[in-house]
Amino acid sequence: MKMFNRALLALGVLGVDLIFFFVPLTAIFLAYIIMVNPAWFRTFLDRLDVTIE
């Protein structure tokens, strides 16, 4: 295999890796929280607000 073909193959593998595995999961989760405002998240926030006596 020529060096040019190896370089193209390496760039292709890197490109596939960046496209499919570089998903910003935290940003997607935050967008879901903002848009849907699920009840379980509101309960979680209310529990954080309770003062410990």
Q: Are the C-beta atoms of residues 14 and 6 closer than 8 Å to each other?
A: no
Predicted structure pTM score: 0.48
Q: How many domains does the chain have?
A: 1
Is 39 part of any domain? yes
Amino acid 39: pLDDT: 93
pLDDT at 40: 93
pLDDT for position 52: 66
Structural domain includes residue 38: yes
Rg of the chain on CA atoms, in Å = 22
**Structural domain boundaries, residue 43:** 23-53
The answer as to whether 9 is a domain residue is no
User: Scanning the structure block, which residue is given the tokens 């979680």?
Assistant: 44
Would you state the pLDDT for residue 18?
78
Q: What is the pLDDT of residues 1-53, one digit of tens each?
A: 788 888 888 888 888 877 777 767 778 888 888 888 899 998 988 888 776 66
Residue 51 lies in a domain: yes
